[in-house]
Amino acid sequence: MSGRGENAALPLVAEDVARLIAGRIVCGDPQTRFTRIGLDSRTVVAGELFVAIVGTRFDGHDFVREAARHGAAGAVVRTGTGVVPGLVVIEVEDTLDALHVVGREIRRRSGTTVVAITGSAGKTTTKELTADLLALRYRTVRSHGNQNNQFGLPLSLLLLRERPEMAVLELGMGHRGQIARLVRTAEPDVRVWTNVGEAHLGAFDSVDEIADAKAEITEAAAAETVLVANADDPLVVSRLGRFPGRVVTFGVESVADVRASHIVSRGLEGQSVMVTTPDGSATLDTPLFGRANLENLLAAVAVATTLGVKLEQVAERATTLRPATHRGDVLCLGGGVRVIDDVYNSNPRALQRALGTLGETGGRRVAVLGEMLELGAATGTLHRALGEAVSAAGVAVLVTVGGDPARQLGDAARLAGLAEDAVHHVADADAAAGLVTSVVRPGDTVLVKGSRGIGLERVVDRLKAELV
């Protein structure tokens, strides 16, 4: 897998890959060079090395021959699979372990500085903002979408074959131990911990347990490793003492290395903020709105300035920064209707802040709120607790979408002051799309937010189609 010359892409040669992952080539030419590595037989490109992963719903071994028909040149499979005509077949004990080994080796040989981001909310937006700022000085790559789990992270490390100077990645989790594994694969030079929230309570007994699992971001670090952490989150701060490297904090309310002050909100038009860093202060004017986006921006500024990007450059770039897709996009539609497209995901902390932002807008306010999933035994309590936030935001019409927890949110909003006929509940996103188009009026501001599994992008798509 060694390249020729400093800028040459790191090649993937069958015999080198097999040696690295302790695999055995059972058929095919050991000198075959693969164009890339993939896991999905539907998206195979010519020359690809297909890795047959055993997942919860699918077994990649069932699709090896399909991958060959689509142009794959090789496959990594479990021991005992045997010969597949037309492919270089490499047998290993565990295909997922093999994928992680390849990702880690490419990361080590690339010479790239790796930034890895975790947290209960804001990972993807923080990743995008951080990559945008680092690109002011460095050749920078970023993981695609939210490729942040045990399958996506090693695939993201394959971007380092081109030897960029910087790579910005996400580390996600659903259970204890997952971030620890991803950290040991990515070996990040800079780690970012955005916050701790109730997301994934279905897999944990408490938010403290979630914080302990997120704290795995501090593991396997060296003295020169940097951790960028949220000084305003006590669950984060209480776990920083175990980190052996350098800690750089960011915050609004607390004393921090990178701190925001003199915040002027322009509602959905963005905000102006004075940012103070160890290298000086500057006013940042940005179209990013709301407290959550401010925290995401501060984390990105902390990473960029720590890695040598000038604060003056950051201030200039801030004027054009945008949130990641479906994570707070503001859509201006016909009739003066504005839609806050925040459909990618939801959790209690994020929804509370989104409603706070909605409450700062003018005109009539409509909230379309999908059920928040993966909250475990606290599901009902957490949904009911947000009814008061809906009322405080001055919402005129509330549409809840999903099962009984979503219905409970609406009931709590009535108890907090919303009129009986101002609250509607529907079972799914298609029903919500039909209802919302009938209740929205010219000049309304509409917040659409829910867990990914609820599919509220269908509501946004319907509004875009109807309000042209």
- CATH code of the domain containing 30: 3.40.1390.10
φ, ψ (nearest 5 deg) of residue 318: -60, -25
**Is the model's pLDDT at 300 over the cut of 60?**
yes
Contact 139, 165 (CB under 8 A): yes
The token duo for 95 is 């295909």
Residue span of the structural domain in which 131 resides? 111-318
Q: What is the CATH number of the domain that holds 246?
A: 3.40.1190.10
Rounded Cα–Cα distance for residues 137 and 165 (Å): 10
Domain shared by 145 and 211, yes or no: yes
Judge whether 361 lies within some domain: yes
- What is the pLDDT at residue 7? 52
**Tens of pLDDT, residues 141-161:** 999 977 899 999 999 999 999
- What is the pLDDT at residue 95? 98
- Structure confidence at residue 4 as a pLDDT band (50, 70, 90): very low
What are the C-alpha distances in Å from 367 to residues 174, 197, 355? Answer: 28, 22, 8
Is the C-alpha dihedral spanning 417, 397, 395, 452 positive or negative?
positive
Domain shared by 219 and 294, yes or no: yes
Rounded Cα–Cα distance for residues 406 and 326 (Å): 20
* Domain count along the chain: 3
Rounded Cα–Cα distance for residues 462 and 464 (Å): 5
Domain shared by 298 and 203, yes or no: yes
What's the whole-number mean pLDDT along residues 379-402? 96
- Structure confidence at residue 228 as a pLDDT band (50, 70, 90): very high
**Among 26, 61, 92, residue at a domain's last position:** 92
Contact 90, 17 (CB under 8 A): yes
Which amino acid, one-letter code, is at 190?
V
- What is the pLDDT at residue 468? 82
What's the whole-number mean pLDDT along residues 302-312? 98
What's the whole-number mean pLDDT along residues 122-139? 96
- Structure confidence at residue 1 as a pLDDT band (50, 70, 90): low
Which amino acid, one-letter code, is at 338?
R
Domain shared by 272 and 405, yes or no: no
Rounded Cα–Cα distance for residues 359 and 148 (Å): 32
**Is the model's pLDDT at 324 over the cut of 70?**
yes
Domain shared by 275 and 393, yes or no: no
Domain shared by 227 and 372, yes or no: no
Q: What is the CATH number of the domain that holds 364?
A: 3.90.190.20
- What is the pLDDT at residue 153? 96
- Structure confidence at residue 2 as a pLDDT band (50, 70, 90): very low
